[in-house]
Amino acid sequence: VCAHARNMLFSFAQSIIQGLTSTEDEGAQLSALSELNELLSISTEDMLASFPVETVVPLLVSRFGFTTA
């Protein structure tokens, strides 16, 4: 994956993380989820290899109220 695509993915991921961590702004959370949906639907496996899963998944779990055992 070229450097430009990695930079775009990093920027998208930062925007998603920022939106998911917005505790007061439900609009920002919804926007982040829409961005994540778009990213996952158009990205290739190679592009997603550098996606910060370890950061985003716990945020999603906490947003939806899931608990881990």
Q: Report yes or no: 16 and 39 within 8 Å, Cβ to Cβ.
A: yes
CB-CB contact of 4 with 24 (8 Å): no
Q: Helical H runs in 21-66?
A: 26-42, 45-48, 53-63
Greater pLDDT, 2 or 1: 2
Q: Is the pTM above the cut of 0.85?
A: no
- Of 37 and 69, the structure prediction assigns the larger pLDDT to 37
Query: Helices (H), strands (E): how many in the chain?
Result: 4, 0
Q: What is the pLDDT of residues 12-58, one digit of tens each?
A: 899 999 999 988 888 999 999 999 999 899 888 888 888 899 999 99
